[in-house]
Amino acid sequence: MLRLLPLLLLLLVAGCHKDTQAADDLKPINLPGADKVLSSLASKDYEAVMTGMTEIRTALEPAKKTDYDRLMGKVMGTLMPVVADNEKAMQAYRAISAMEAGR
């Protein structure tokens, strides 16, 4: 029974992390321009997504980095499945990736 204790603790911690992550996904992203980026992403206006992400990144305050990271995750997670079939999505994905890499 004592051998199972570390495994049970690991499962408990992993389960708590998922709940925290799900709660974070429901929080609004409090960045100027984030709503515009998300609506552009929903309407598949990838050029507007690139422009919006660039504007947000340029004006980003260190205190808002967590919100920016969440927005970036949503944007890249939405672009990734469509890049193979959509040239504009591929361009947006590459441009945003390059911006993040500092190129």
Rounded Cα distance, 91 and 98, in Å: 10
Angle 65-79/87-101 helices, nearest 10 degrees? Answer: 150
The structure's pTM equals 0.73
Please state whether 89 falls in left (phi above 0), alpha (psi between -120 and 50) or beta: alpha
Segments making up each domain of the chain, as ranges = 29-101
Q: What is the pLDDT of residues 41-71, one digit of tens each?
A: 999 999 999 999 999 999 999 999 999 999 9
Other beta carbons within 10 angstroms of residue 42's beta carbon come to: 10
The CA radius of gyration of the chain, in Å to the nearest whole number, is 18
Residue 60, both tokens: 């980003």
Rounded Cα distance, 10 and 4, in Å: 10
pLDDT confidence bin for 77, thresholds 50/70/90: very high
pLDDT confidence bin for 25, thresholds 50/70/90: low
- Say if CB 99 and CB 58 are below 8 A apart: no
